[in-house]
A and B are shown apart, each in its own frame.
Chain A
Amino acid sequence: MPCVGRHARRVRIGRHRLRPAGLLLPLALVIQGLAGPEPLSGGLAPGIESKPTISELHLDELYERPIGPRGLAFSVRARALDGRPVRLRGFAVRQASPIPFCLILSPVPVTLHEREYGLAEDLPSNFVHVHFPRGPHPFLPWSRDPMTVDGCLELGAREEADGRISHVRLRANAPWSSRRPPSDTTASSVPRSEAAANPIPASNESARPDQLESQPALLRELP
């Protein structure tokens, strides 16, 4: 479904500036630094630019509160923003078995142990599946910090690749790029051959920038 209005192209992880000693932050900078141009406003003729009109939407605003005795009910505001550009803020759920090109955004920090519990989980009901366009790297680096994601809001039930039903999705634009991210002194000290010799199942654990470049098909879990 095409997004009506602006489709922002920004993913912001955390609230910190780049620190050379860090492993995650260079990548966060990469994601921000490689963000695309500011989007066009919805309803404007092509080529006409204006200030962004993206709407901030709190995850707690997705459904009517308090939750009733049966299912959830989309809020009036969420329904009004269906198909429109929104900005969400939450925590990327830490998953043992994430979906490629997708993360789950939660209002509170959550770790999911799919192997242990399947879909018996401690995930609040107002989670959002954030889908990124397919690119060379299927898993967004995981961060403990809150994440701000811009994209197109999509409401309605859909079965995701991991068997969960998503009722709210965000179609985010690509955080990926073919540009090589700035190297990190620690990361660059790791022999590539060593990394290649230690295959680990994919997860949405953070990945070093050099891994993004050297292993385009599949990110590897880091220690």
Chain B
Amino acid sequence: MKLLQRYLPLATLLAIGGTAIADPVIVRLTPPSKLFSLGVTNGPVIARFLPEQRFDLQSSIRPDPGMTIDSVEFQVDEATVSGVVTLKPGTGGVATNLTIGTLRAFETSAPGVHSFSVRAVQSDGKVATASGNFEVAPIAQRGRRARNVIFCIGDGMGIAHRTAARLMKFNASMGKANGLLAMDQMPFSGLVMTHSLNSIVTDSSPGAACYSTGNKANNNQHGVFPDDTTDNFDNPRVENVGEYLHRTQGKALGIVTTSDVFDATPAAFATHTQSRAAGSGICDQYLDESGRTGLSVLLGGGRKWFLPATTPGSGRTAATDYALADELASGWAIPVGQVDTNRDLIADFEAAGWRYAADRTSLAATPADTRRLLGLFSFSNMNVAKDKIDGRRGAKPAGATSSVVEDFGLPDQPMLDEMTDKALQVLSRNANGFVLMVEAASIDKQAHNMDTERWILDTIEFDAAIGRCLDFARTNSDTLVIVTADHECAGVNIIGGSRVAQSVLTQQLAQPSVRTTTYTNAVGGFLFTFPYSHFSIRTNVGTYEAAGFPKYVLGEDGYPVTTDIDGRMIVGYAANADRFEDYLTNPYPLRDSQQPFVTQEPQLRHPGGPSNRDFPTGNFLTGQIPDAVAAHTASDVPVSAQGRGASAFTGVMDNTDVFFRAMQAVVGGAQ
């Protein structure tokens, strides 16, 4: 297979003809295309752009031994592309033998499929060429344009996450849901295919970048196409939605998330990198390139990236920082950046006219005339909805003297809907409209952990934020609201309801272990023995009619008074790692070593994965993947839309289609 991949470009040259077979060899041609990589012309064109949306042209060439590549020329529709082509060596492994030619910030306005080729000349005069293609999507001019577009992304939120949130918030009886989520009430819905450029199963970087750029990316990369260097920030770029609409229409960009702001989904809307982990550089880019992106609101966690490295709590490192080559900076007209671990980024934001909020109180006090708003409410990810709500209620885990948010030292964190409200207030002051991305990040993170109640409450929190967006859209009719996910996480589904009351379940879990079983790990092949409760907890899982209709009761704050109810909803995970499960709400995120029974003898170690919970209650569930936590899946995710242009969001679509359908409404208008 590797041989096939290695020689595919050469085979492509042979297959498509029209070019001389020669050394050197073109090994990569960007934007990516099936024509170049697979030698086929059928099927969808991989790279698509809006009219005048900018992107880089790049090619990697392997010269003959002892030779160099003297020049690289790109052609679009058989016409040479003007501009400077910069040559540099590849880096990392076999790529060191490559020469990379790059032409920055190309654009064309002509709709349709365009032929695209590269011609490289070696020092001995030999020539190598290769061909690919890309498409410029047609934008029809019709109706009124959407002035504002809001992407609400429930990270990892598949269909079952929505269903579980609806059932917990409204319950169902006699076959009908007793109420609908805000996202349920949006008039148009469809399904989105979420594959990335290099896998059927995406991660959040390309999963979000498809919405922000309209293009596929490799896993862990966003705003860029893959290249042959190890530099995290030199990849060929694709102009993202904020940059494009700020440049062409003067729109502002807002990013609101419950995660660390450098995390993949928020970063995909304003930055460009092949490493989603490069936190210092990503956060620097937020400010450094805000003149191009129109970024005006940035709310979430991740304060550690904004503090000088010498300040306790800072996470800034040279390895995660960035500095651009002059050719990239000049090609895109952006600052070169700097590796500056001691940068006080909060101070730099403030110096650039941003107002800074550190907690819910200061966020709420944001003056009405604020035009740029930075909010950093935690040092990395914000605490999840359940823990924030418990903190507001004064609820503490059993036996604890403080709530989880107090343990984290940040008891005054805002909810996502409160952040969304403030973002809308600030962005709506921009006369030319705005793009807003609202992300509920921990639906995904808690689904990875198979912490059922936490991701359900985060989905309920997300729905409250969606409600704010829809309220805004009702009074600002030229607003398009899109609710979707970047991918599904964990293979979540609702498999039934508990057959027993909470008190019975608790009594069962208190029974001493009476026998042992032997466990063989699928990966390690190790055997070991552990005891488990005589009562198999999984017999409590009621399927079909035994599931009944769980009855959760909401508090005044809109969240369940308790998630530990009689006949509770039971969730299963298809992309599961090994775990023990007692079907009780975990008092602490991720794991609770203070749960009842945990300290009872015998204390045993247990298999890897989130099986650090609920042991030794005995319900061991064998994982189907070798990872330590549950994984993303390739399942389609739902999309719902309301507002100007929303009727386009029906049927089954590629994730990049979401971008182009939204841009049709914003750029071309909708009836």
Contacts and interface: CB of A to CB of B under 8 A. Distances in A.
B475 to A, nearest CB: 33
Nearest to B589: A122
Nearest to A59: B407
Contact of A190 (B312, B316, B528, B531): B528
A107 B602 contact: no
B312 A119 contact: no
A72 B605 contact: no
Interface residue tally of chain B, by bracket? 35 or more
Q: Name the residue in B310, B591, B603, B628 with the highest tally of chain A Cβ atoms < 10 Å from its Cβ.
A: B603
A121 B381 contact: yes
A221 B525 CA distance: 11
Nearest to B259: A120
B450 to A, nearest CB: 11
Interface string B400-431: 00001001111100000000000000000000
Contact of B307 (A71, A110, A195): A71
Contacts of B203: 116
B358 to A, nearest CB: 3
A15 B279 CA distance: 38
B604 interface: yes
Contact of B523 (A108, A143, A223): A223
B397 to A, nearest CB: 10
A63 interface: yes
A191 to B, nearest CB: 9
B276 A23 contact: no
Given A144-B591, A194-B525, A111 B610 contact: yes
A145 B316 CA distance: 31
Contacts of A25: 603
Interface in B585-603: 588-593, 598-599, 601-603
Interface string B305-318: 00111111111111
A40 to B, nearest CB: 30
Contacts of B316: 165
B194 interface: no
Nearest to B525: A198
A63 B312 contact: yes
A120 B598 contact: no
B529 interface: yes
Given A19-B603, A167-B313, A120 B262 contact: yes
A164 interface: yes
B478 interface: no
A125 B409 contact: yes
B220 to A, nearest CB: 9
Interface stretch (A30-38, A132-140, A175-183, A200-208): A200-208
B6 to A, nearest CB: 27
A178 to B, nearest CB: 23
B337 interface: no
Nearest to A118: B277
Contacts of B275: 118
Contacts of B456: none
Interface in B268-323: 275-277, 279, 302-304, 307-320
B71 to A, nearest CB: 38
B190 interface: no
A164 B315 contact: yes
A111 B629 contact: yes
A45 interface: no
A74 B307 CA distance: 15
Nearest to A23: B605
Given A91-B593, A120-B259, A111 B449 contact: yes
Contacts of B523: 198, 200, 223
Contact of A197 (B525, B528, B592, B608): B525
B386 to A, nearest CB: 13
A124 B407 contact: yes
A126 B448 CA distance: 24
A124 B408 contact: yes
Given A21-B604, A72-B311, A190-B527, A117 B263 contact: yes
Contacts of B310: 157
A113 to B, nearest CB: 6
Contacts of A216: none
Given A108-B404, A111-B629, A220 B524 contact: yes
A143 B448 CA distance: 21
Nearest to B601: A19
A12 interface: no
Given A24-B605, A67-B410, A69-B362, A96 B628 contact: yes
B607 interface: yes
Contact of B279 (A14, A108, A119, A223): A119
B370 interface: no
Contacts of B521: 222-223
Nearest to B362: A69
A214 interface: no
Contact of A109 (B303, B359, B592, B601): B592
B276 A118 contact: yes
Contacts of A116: 203, 448, 629
A218 interface: no
B243 interface: no
A190 B356 contact: no
A3 interface: no
B603 to A, nearest CB: 5
B519 interface: yes
A107 B403 CA distance: 12
B408 A125 contact: yes
Interface in A15-49: 15-16, 19, 21-25
A60 B309 CA distance: 21
A52 interface: no
A223 B607 contact: yes
Nearest to A122: B381
B152 interface: no
Given A165-B314, A167-B312, A109 B593 contact: yes
A125 B601 contact: no
Q: Name the residue in B315, B448, B521 with the highest tally of chain A Cβ atoms < 10 Å from its Cβ.
A: B315
Nearest to B408: A124
Interface in A154-169: 157, 159, 163-165, 167-168
A218 B4 CA distance: 35
B260 interface: yes
B583 to A, nearest CB: 19
Given A15-B599, A63-B409, A119-B279, A186 B528 contact: yes
A120 B593 contact: no
A86 B311 CA distance: 23
Contacts of B319: 159, 163
A208 to B, nearest CB: 8
A163 B260 CA distance: 16
A69 B359 contact: yes
Contacts of A21: 529, 531, 602, 604
A145 B603 contact: yes
B593 A146 contact: yes
B445 interface: yes
Interface of B: 203, 259-260, 262-264, 275-277, 279, 302-304, 307-320, 346, 356, 358-359, 362, 379-381, 383, 404, 407-411, 445, 448-449, 519-521, 523-529, 531, 578, 588-593, 598-599, 601-605, 607-608, 610, 612, 615, 627-629
9 contacts: A108-B404, A113-B628, A117-B445, A118-B279, A119-B380, A122-B445, A163-B319, A205-B608, A223-B520
Interface of A: 14-16, 19, 21-25, 60, 63, 65-74, 91, 94, 96, 107-111, 113, 115-126, 143-146, 157, 159, 163-165, 167-168, 186-187, 189-190, 194-195, 197-198, 200, 203, 205-206, 220-223
- Lowest 4 CB-CB distances: which A-B pairs, in order? A223-B521, A118-B277, A69-B358, A71-B311
Given A22-B604, A195-B525, 5 more contacts: A110-B591, A146-B593, A159-B317, A198-B526, A203-B608
